[in-house]
Amino acid sequence: MRGQRLLGGACGGVILTQHHVLTAAHCLFRIINDTTILRASKVVIRVGSTYNDRGGSKHETSKTLVHEDYKYSESKDNDVAVLVLSTSVSNYRSSSVQPAAIPPGGYVVPDNASVVAVGWGRTNMKCMKSSPIGLRLVGLRKVDRDTCAARYPRFSYNNMLCAGLLGVGGAGTCKGDSGGPLVYNGVVVGVTSFAMRCADSFYPHVFTRVSSYTNWINNTLRQNQVEVVHKLSHNTAVAADVSSMMLLAFVTSIWIMYYEIIYF
């Protein structure tokens, strides 16, 4: 006999238009028993709230548009996707919901620059505690390419950006933060992708470099006959404190459901 088992996961994302959300491609897949890869069967996002379990409004997706060169089981590269909402965000461009600003192609974040990662991920170094309900921010430093490549020699960094607190540790992204933004001067420059360990002092966190995908993002939106996402903004830098929440109205929480076929 054959049946289905429902599995779930959580990620973050950013609002591009009232119909579209940017997230990490790997959020839409799940591997079972090291061999079976499941693609998301249902994706629900919550916008307009700094809580991932209440407030704002919820929207299901009609399409999940994964970068065509992303290979879940083979590489961490091209870890980017756009979610198409089945209903438009009604409170779009309000105090609680704003579109994100993304950089133009080729935009470079200076080494050692202050950046901020945002999400609802777990909050201790071993990822053992439950995820927070409220949105959290953490201040990090942009890590230069050579250092990041030395720490992660298996990966190519043309389309990636690294940040962390090297030599210090104790803070950073963790499980549940995937797909959320890395912000520099009010601009979403990265999408949380992976790390060796949470809040590690040696291994930096790795983000998809948004400026490598600006054209892909805008082409994806054009093909869906919607407005082009906003380019580089002139917002002031986002500080990692509670008052910054008002500047993060483009952040969304995402709940992903997968159906596994089981035999019994």
Highest mean pLDDT among 8-12, 52-56, 109-113, 202-206: 109-113
Mean pLDDT of 43-55: 87
Q: Which one-letter amino acid corresponds to residue 193?
A: S
- Please tell me which residue in 19, 20, 26, 59 is annotated as part of the active site: 26
- What's the pLDDT score for residue 7? 62
Query: Is 177 a catalytic site residue?
Result: no
Q: Is residue 176 a contact partner of residue 122, using CB atoms and an 8 Å limit? A: yes
Percent of the chain having pLDDT more than 70? 77
Mean pLDDT of 183-199: 91
- Please tell me which residue in 59, 77, 79, 193 is annotated as part of the active site: 79
Q: Which two tokens stand for residue 22?
A: 């940017």
Q: What angle do CA 103, 234, 187 make, to 5 degrees?
A: 35
**Residue 263's pLDDT band (boundaries 50, 70, 90)?**
very low
pLDDT tens-place string over residues 79-130: 999 999 989 987 888 888 889 999 999 999 999 999 999 998 887 655 455 5
- What's the pLDDT score for residue 36? 57
- What's the pLDDT score for residue 55? 87
**Residue 242's pLDDT band (boundaries 50, 70, 90)?**
very low
- Please tell me which residue in 49, 114, 131, 178 is annotated as part of the active site: 178
> Is the pLDDT score of 56 beyond 60?
yes
Q: Which pTM value belongs to this model?
A: 0.86
**Residue 155's pLDDT band (boundaries 50, 70, 90)?**
confident
- What's the pLDDT score for residue 3? 41
In 3D space, the residue among 242, 221, 10, 256 whose CA is nearest the CA of residue 100 turns out to be 221
pLDDT higher for 188 or 54? 188
Radius of gyration of the chain (CA): 17
- What's the pLDDT score for residue 112? 95
> Is the pLDDT score of 5 beyond 70?
no
Query: Is 230 a catalytic site residue?
Result: no
13-17, 70-74, 156-160, 259-263: the lowest-pLDDT one: 259-263
Q: Domain boundaries in the chain?
A: 2-91+213-222+245-263
Q: What mean pLDDT value characterizes the chain?
A: 81
Mean pLDDT of 210-222: 95
- What's the pLDDT score for residue 131? 56
In CATH, the architecture of 2-91+213-222+245-263 is Beta Barrel (2.40)
**Residue 170's pLDDT band (boundaries 50, 70, 90)?**
confident
Query: Is 79 a catalytic site residue?
Result: yes
> For residue 144, how many other CB atoms are within 10 A of its CB?
14
**Residue 34's pLDDT band (boundaries 50, 70, 90)?**
low
In 3D space, the residue among 254, 183, 262 whose CA is nearest the CA of residue 20 turns out to be 254
- What's the pLDDT score for residue 238? 35
10-14, 78-82, 206-210: the lowest-pLDDT one: 10-14
Q: Is residue 138 a contact partner of residue 223, using CB atoms and an 8 Å limit? A: no
Q: Is residue 186 a contact partner of residue 238, using CB atoms and an 8 Å limit? A: yes
What is the bridge-based pairing of β-strands 81-85 and 160-164? unpaired
- What's the pLDDT score for residue 225? 64
**Distance, CA of 78 to CA of 209 (rounded, Å):** 9
